[in-house]
Amino acid sequence: MKNRQETKINLHLALSFRFALCILHFALCTALMSGCARPQLVATPAPVIAPVWPSPPLEPRIEWVKEIRDYRGAGVDRGFWKRAWDFIAGEEEARIIKPHGVYFDDMQRLFIVDAGGAQLHLMDMRKGRYTLIRHENGNGFLSPVGISGDDGGNVYVTDSGTAVIFRYSLQDDSLTQFTSVKFARPTGIAFNRANRLLYVVDTAAHQVVALDMTGTERIRFGSRGHGPGQFNYPTDICIDGTGQVIVTDALNSRIQIFSSSGKPLTAFGQAGDEIGHFNKPKGVAVDSDGHIYICDALHDAVQIFDPQGQLLLSFGESGQEPGQFWMPSGIHIDANDFIYVADSFNQRIQVFKYLKEVQSEK
């Protein structure tokens, strides 16, 4: 009787193992189908003509490059075995739901803070790999907003829902809480290479807080108001090439520029529906020539100013085509002057290029 029961158990295990192998075989075949299928004759789509700003016959200064809606748009892959396992486990394919913060580092890694999915997309262009970061060891995003990276292989993400600053280490792939400093609602964040401090916008406190690499508070400036150095719900922040701190003072409809110690230097902007004015200013970034770019979510445009506040150019309009926006929010400009704009309600990142002025030979 005992031998018969053992035989039944062994038979059951063998059948279960064979069934699992069949499922895996089916998944592998499915994953390979796209590469093995007989090529189909399809109509060749018309090439996309990259928009430029300003329009011809003027010399272009901004050129549209591409859009990124998922890892494919960035030219990376999840890997064969990852795709096969996701198929077996029934995992939904990750996609960008509502992007806000965006960052591209010196190692050709694109980071997209996805507030709609409470997740961080990591697209490694150099290695051709895609990673989705959601939570680890009880740490999880609730309402992630801003992102920046330091010079030591870490990126930092603000979460306005949990009032926490997260640090993601690229060395050991870990997500941890960075600091014990209390925030009301952290949003924008930027690393200053000049003094190695991390500047965080605390929107609800109407302040900017600077932390060192141990998470210790070093500088705090700002209060609610309309005067120089005061804020009315600031949101985003960036650092220029000299180490100056540039803050989007959203409900005061202006941009304020500070020294690295928090001393107010200058400000520009006013509320209005016309280009050159601000309707709902959000993300801010600086190119290699010191021009300041501001996303305006209600203008559906990116406006470019010089450091004195003179309007230089505006690009974008409402829509879903290349170069059009629906509530643009975050913006980042990399070392090669590629411009990454989080086109939030179009569920994509749009990439542009700043075209430097060609110096004529004398």
Residues 19-78: pLDDT tens digits? 544 554 555 454 444 444 444 555 555 566 899 999 999 999 999 999 999 999 998 876
Evaluate if residue 331 carries a pLDDT over 70: yes
Average pLDDT rounded to a whole number, residues 144-157: 97
| The one-letter amino acid at 151 | D
Residue 94's pLDDT band (boundaries 50, 70, 90)?
confident
Evaluate if residue 13 carries a pLDDT over 60: no
Evaluate if residue 348 carries a pLDDT over 60: yes
* Mean predicted lDDT score pLDDT of the chain: 87
The separation between CA 119 and the C-alpha centre of its own chain, rounded to angstroms, equals 11
d(CA 32, CA 3): 43
H/E stretch holding 328 reads strand 328-333
d(CA 255, CA 276): 12
8 Å CB contact between 292 and 286: yes
Give the pLDDT confidence of 159-182 residue by residue, as tens digits. 999 999 999 999 999 999 999 999
Average pLDDT rounded to a whole number, residues 244-251: 98
- pLDDT, residue 160, reads 97
Average pLDDT rounded to a whole number, residues 295-305: 97
Residue 140's pLDDT band (boundaries 50, 70, 90)?
confident
- pLDDT, residue 46, reads 59
Evaluate if residue 86 carries a pLDDT over 80: no
Q: Beta strands 324-325 and 317-318: pairing type?
A: parallel
Residue 7's pLDDT band (boundaries 50, 70, 90)?
very low
Q: How many CB atoms lie under 10 A from the CB of residue 10?
A: 10
Count of all residues that appear for the chain in the document? 362
Q: How far is CA 2 from CA 6, 8, 14, 15, in A?
A: 6, 10, 18, 20
Evaluate if residue 345 carries a pLDDT over 50: yes
| The one-letter amino acid at 71 | Y
Q: How many CB atoms lie under 10 A from the CB of residue 331?
A: 23
d(CA 170, CA 192): 19
Alpha helix positions (H), 37-79: none
How close are the terminal C-alpha atoms of the chain, in Å?
Answer: 101
| Torsion (CA) 253, 230, 207, 232 in degrees, nearest 10 | -40
8 Å CB contact between 118 and 155: no
Which percentage of the chain shows pLDDT scores above 70?
80
H/E stretch holding 19 reads helix 2-36
96 closest CA partner among 126, 120, 61, 79: 120
Q: Which residue has the tokens 């609800």?
A: 204
8 Å CB contact between 132 and 121: yes
Give the pLDDT confidence of 203-221 residue by residue, as tens digits. 999 999 999 999 999 999 9
Q: How many CB atoms lie under 10 A from the CB of residue 148?
A: 25
Strands across the sheet containing 197-202: 186-192, 197-202, 207-211, 217-221
pTM, entire model: 0.85
8 Å CB contact between 78 and 130: yes
H/E stretch holding 217 reads strand 217-221
For residues 108 and 362, the model is more confident at 108
| The one-letter amino acid at 86 | D
Largest CA distance in the chain: 101
d(CA 186, CA 236): 10
Average pLDDT rounded to a whole number, residues 336-353: 98
Residue 134's pLDDT band (boundaries 50, 70, 90)?
confident
- pLDDT, residue 41, reads 52
Q: Which residues pair with 112 in a beta bridge?
A: 102, 121
